[in-house]
Amino acid sequence: MSLSAYLDSGADLSVFPSSDLELLGLSTGEMEEITFSTASGEEVRGRLATLPFEIGGQHVAVPVASCEGAARPLGRAGVFDTFYVVFDEAARKTYLLGRDEPDMVRMLTD
């Protein structure tokens, strides 16, 4: 199954609608209940699961909170610690570069 999400560098967690998680065969009732804050400071109750994602051909475990009405932001947890994230504002593009790619590691640490 394929779902679209947008990369949100301001979000700690990824947040998907509960209906998406149910489509993936997950029962939200079996997931850990959490409270998290939105960018506006509103506290929201939801459920938390770690889901397998494939991003750029790489398999990544991403913690995802469920919340009805969520616009599918893909937050930093599980993503930013797996990839170098490069925002090219002039070209209006975002690049996710594997941290284990030797050429990328050399380029970004020199």
Collapsing DSSP to helix, strand or coil, 17 comes out as coil
Report d(CA 72, CA 5) in Å as an integer. Answer: 5
For residue 48, give the nearest of 30, 60, 22, 66 by alpha carbon: 66
Summarised one tens digit per residue, pLDDT across range 28-81 is 777 889 998 888 888 989 889 998 888 878 889 999 998 888 889 999 999 999
Task: Catalogue the long-range contacts made by 36-44 (C-beta closer than 8 Å, 24 or more residues apart).
Answer: 36/12, 36/65, 39/10, 39/11
Q: Which option is the CATH number for 6-80: 3.30.1330.10, 2.40.70.10, 3.40.50.620, 3.40.50.2300?
A: 2.40.70.10
The verdict on pTM exceeding 0.85 is no
For the chain, the straight-line distance linking the first and the last C-alpha, in angstroms and rounded, comes to 39
The domain ranges of the chain are 6-80
